Structure 1
Amino acid sequence: MTVPRLVVVTDHTQTSRPLPDVVAAAVTAGARAVLLRDKDLPLPERRALAGELRTRLDPVGGLLIWGGATGAPEGTAVHLSATDAFPAERPPLVGRSCHSAAELARAAAEGCDWVFLSPVFPTSSKPGYGPALGLDGLAALVPGAPPVLALGGVRPEDVPGCLAAGAHGVAVMGAVMRDPTVVGAHLAALGVPAGAPRT
């Protein structure tokens, strides 16, 4: 199992055009893993949207990740919130959002394949989770955790610091939803060639 170095997290409320078009542009820019979050949408609409995103990702060997514990199409990777119960039947890949040492320990005990750790930097997209961890906070929490993807206000210029702090990679939402071409700069900072497999 290969954990992505970059995950694009969707939020249709931050886009100025249809979400499938934004994801298509992000894929063109090199994205190969997309987390369909958008939990405010009705389940049938989310499932239809997942099908549309697969048409963008499948041709390039990309990975679609379903946000949440329920309703995931069969055989789809899943990303759980900090409070979601672990599925009784394990999906092929499972990630979890974490904000503390206790949540990271839980994810490790569950055998999660990766975790998002946030917020690393101040961001309006992740309110209510306390102050930003900063690079020192990130570095303090990484040991013993599953592969960590830093989330929360991570700009391309922040990526080297996140990697030096021990992060496996990064997850990006708002910046990519507003301008999907920024994916290329994040990948360059990660040292991943645009269009490379999801490594």
Structure 2
Amino acid sequence: MPSLGRLHLVTDTRPGRDPLAVVQAALSAAGAELVVQVRVEDVASDREAYDLAGRVAGLCAAAGATCLVNDRLHVALAVGAAGGHVGALDLPLDAARRVLGPDAVLGATARTPETGRAAVAAGATYLGVGPCYLTSTKDGLPTPIGPAGIAAVAGAVDVPVIAIGGVTAARAAELVAAGAYGVAVVGAVSSAADPARATAELLAAITAVR
């Protein structure tokens, strides 16, 4: 199983965004230390997801970085990604593990110690935990859990906890100090005037803590 990078970039495919340009810029700053999670809008077709994921997987392979695909595990398999990530409304974790196989990276979304422990027992190799703070990049999210929520989940499991939701370079250090292994971002990089610089600042904030 590939080692897991501590900075996860989730692709932003909202109108007006250029996810490939952002991924290229982030990889130029972080290289093999980056994990790129390919997430597409629900209205996107499997073909659109496949085309984007295939191009991202190629960029990641050239940089030695890890590529994961959110939700659409058949696309992850089709493009040779390292694994995938599933949320509460996606395939159950045990089914996702059967689809991806025993050696793939499999992330799961959690926000409490109980859901985190259940996800690990069902086959998750890391947890995406949040939202940590208010964020506008995804609708319908529950109340932010903050660093205290991260600490509670991280203390209950023995897999990496990746904090997500409203994460910035200024906030990354307190999340890692609370027990997060790393952070996942969307807007902090995709909305930045200089995505490469934003990536470098996030990585520096994460690695400065431990």
Equivalence map 1:83-122=2 (5 Å)? 83-84=89-90, 85-86=92-93, 87=96, 88-91=98-101, 92-122=104-134
Q: 1:154 to 1:48 in 2, by over 3 A?
A: same
Q: Counterpart of 2:181 in structure 1: which amino acid?
A: H
Unaligned runs of 5+ in 1: 193-199
Q: What SS is found at the alignment partner of 1:25?
A: helix
Equivalent in the alignment of 1:191: 207
2:184 to 153, 171, 195: 171
Backbone CA RMSD of aligned residues: 1.9
Q: 1:118 to 1:126 in 2, by over 3 A?
A: farther
Indicate if the aligned counterparts of 1:34 and 1:64 stay in contact, CA closer than 8 A.
yes
> Structure 1-normalised TM-score?
0.87
1:151 to 164, 169, 194: 164
Equivalent in the alignment of 1:136: 148
Indicate if the aligned counterparts of 1:82 and 1:103 stay in contact, CA closer than 8 A.
no
> Structure 2-normalised TM-score?
0.83
Give the CA deviation at 1:174.
Answer: 1.4
Give the CA deviation at 1:157.
Answer: 1.4
The structure showing larger relative contact order (alpha-carbon pairs under 8 Å, at least 6 residues apart) is 1
Q: Counterpart of 1:45 in structure 2: which amino acid?
A: E
Counterpart CA distance in 2 for 1:89 and 1:135 is 33
Percent identity for Structure 1 against Structure 2: 30
Indicate if the aligned counterparts of 1:99 and 1:129 stay in contact, CA closer than 8 A.
no
Indicate if the aligned counterparts of 2:109 and 2:128 stay in contact, CA closer than 8 A.
yes
Q: What SS is found at the alignment partner of 1:29?
A: helix
2:52 to 49, 54, 59: 49
Q: Counterpart of 2:125 in structure 1: which amino acid?
A: D
Q: 1:17 to 1:154 in 2, by over 3 A?
A: closer
Indicate if the aligned counterparts of 1:78 and 1:95 stay in contact, CA closer than 8 A.
yes
Equivalent in the alignment of 1:61: 64
Counterpart CA distance in 2 for 1:133 and 1:18 is 30
Indicate if the aligned counterparts of 2:49 and 2:75 stay in contact, CA closer than 8 A.
no
Indicate if the aligned counterparts of 2:129 and 2:161 stay in contact, CA closer than 8 A.
yes
1:81 to 56, 77, 87: 87
Aligned length: 191
Q: Higher helix fraction: Structure 1 or Structure 2?
A: 2
Q: Deviation digits for residues 133-184 of structure 1, max 9, x if unmatched?
A: 1112221221122210000111111111111111000000112111222111
